[in-house]
């Protein structure tokens, strides 16, 4: 029995990813994510009026000067709504999707330990998020390089970094935004244990991210802002400084881990005692 114990612990994880990436829905969402920088770049390329510096969304004016900014700009556009939308689909689907199909009961009698299933499901959503953010940054770099000049990148601090380092910063942005989503993914996992209707769970997660962003914009609630899981979502601009401004990254990581601990525990408490009647 011990002989194949090692591969066994990974079997379910591999299987989970295989199921996720067999679905056409997963690829459609990644494709849609890739379209964000592509559409953005084409729109900027085709528009005859050049934007004055500082006009429009941050970085947008820089895209025409350096294609490598396409990814960053697209990420800023995608963070408030589109990325959370696709991610809520995956996070809301974790348990509710299996329950809705009825496959949950067959997994549990396979048998899978319920806590283990939760962990695997959570890691699966994290992998999807990572795939999503990297898809966006990669598509941005490629379309940017095709349509616009590419060269050393002038950072927000005025320093100039070479292309390889710029690509490294893009990867860090993708990692940062993935970390930013960890709290929401845990919330999604918890909501998903409450229902057998995946669409309900997805909507719940999306509403939570919307409400959180609205609260974050109300100055009267300033005391609350740093506790909102969306609070640091757009702060990856700090990665484009020299040296990198790491304090908000650290705060964000702590906050996200806090959300993971809280909603992970709630999901555990709920799911391990739940009657599976679907």
Partner 1 sequence: MSEKGQWAIETNGLIKAFGDQKAVAGISLAVPRGSVFGFLGPNGSGKTTTIRMLLGLAEATSGEIKLLDHAIPKELQVALPKVGALVEGPAFYPYMSGRNNLIRIDSADRFSDPSTRAARVDAALERVGLSNAAKKKVHAYSLGMKQRLGLANALLKPRELLILDEPTNGLDPQGTREVRNLIRSLAAEGITIFLSSHLLTEIEQLCDHVAVMSAGKILAQGSLAELRSHGQTRLILKVDRIDEAVDILKTQGIGKIKFSGENMIVPVVEDLDVSRINEVLVKKKIKVSEIRLEHPSLEEYFVDLTGEGFEVVR
DSSP single-letter state for residue 147: H
Rounded Cα–Cα distance for residues 139 and 36 (Å): 9
Does the footprint of partner 1 cover residue 107 (CB under 8 A)? yes
Does the footprint of partner 1 cover residue 273 (CB under 8 A)? yes
Q: Are 124 and 17 contacting, i.e. CB atoms less than 8 angstroms apart?
A: yes
Does the footprint of partner 1 cover residue 265 (CB under 8 A)? no
Over its C-alpha atoms, the chain yields an Rg (Å, rounded) of 20
Scan residues 17-36 and list those touching partner 1 (CB under 8 A). Answer: 18-19, 22-24
| Between 14 and 50, CB nearer to partner 1 | 14
Region of 5-13, 146-154, 156-164, 232-240 interacting with partner 1 (CB under 8 A): 5-13
| Between 100 and 264, CB nearer to partner 1 | 100
| Between 203 and 278, CB nearer to partner 1 | 278
Identify which of 135, 112, 115 has the alpha carbon closest to the alpha carbon of residue 21. Answer: 135
For 24, residues 6+ apart whose C-beta sits below 8 A from its C-beta are none
Report CA torsion sign: 26, 30, 36, 39: negative
Rounded Cα–Cα distance for residues 21 and 3 (Å): 29
Scan residues 108-147 and list those touching partner 1 (CB under 8 A). Answer: 108-113, 117
Report, in Å, the least distance between residue 267 CB and partner 1: 18
Phi, psi for residue 72 in degrees, rounded to 5? -60, -45
Per-residue contact flags (x/-) with partner 1 for residues 46 to 75, judged by CB under 8 A? ------------------------------
Q: Among all chains, which residue has been given the structure tokens 């702590």?
A: 254
Report CA torsion sign: 177, 178, 183, 188: positive
Region of 16-24, 76-84, 205-213, 247-255 interacting with partner 1 (CB under 8 A): 16-24
Size of interface with partner 1, in residues (CB under 8 A): 31
Q: Which residues bind partner 1 (CB under 8 A)?
A: 1, 4, 7-9, 11-12, 14-15, 18-19, 22-24, 101-103, 105-113, 117, 273, 275-277
């Amino acid at each position: 029995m011990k002989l194949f114990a090692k591969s066994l612990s990974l079997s379910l994880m591999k299987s989970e990813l295989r199921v996720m990436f067999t679905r056409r829905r997963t690829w459609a969402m990644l494709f849609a994510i890739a379209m964000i920088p592509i559409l953005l770049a084409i729109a900027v390329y085709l528009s005859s009026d050049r934007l004055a510096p500082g006009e429009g969304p941050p970085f947008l004016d820089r895209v025409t000067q350096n294609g490598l900014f396409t990814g960053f700009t697209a990420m800023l556009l995608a963070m408030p709504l589109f990325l959370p939308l696709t991610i809520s689909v995956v996070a809301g689907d974790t348990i509710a999707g299996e329950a809705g199909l009825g496959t949950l009961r067959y997994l549990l009698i396979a048998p899978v330990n319920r806590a283990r299933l939760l962990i695997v499901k959570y890691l699966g959503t994290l992998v999807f998020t990572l795939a999503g953010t990297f898809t966006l940054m990669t598509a941005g770099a490629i379309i940017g390089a095709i349509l616009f000049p590419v060269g050393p990148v002038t950072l927000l601090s005025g320093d100039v970094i070479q292309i390889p380092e710029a690509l490294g910063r893009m990867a860090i942005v993708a990692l940062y935004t993935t970390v930013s989503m960890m709290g929401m993914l845990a919330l999604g996992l918890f909501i998903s244990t409450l229902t057998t209707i995946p669409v309900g769970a997805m909507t719940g997660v999306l509403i939570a991210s919307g409400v959180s962003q609205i609260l974050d914009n109300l100055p009267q609630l300033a005391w609350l802002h740093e506790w909102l899981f969306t609070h640091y979502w757009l702060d990856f601009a700090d990665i484009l400084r020299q040296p990198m401004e790491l304090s908000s990254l650290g705060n964000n990581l702590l906050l996200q881990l806090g959300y993971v601990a809280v909603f992970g525990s709630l999901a555990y408490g709920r799911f391990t005692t739940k009657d599976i009647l679907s």
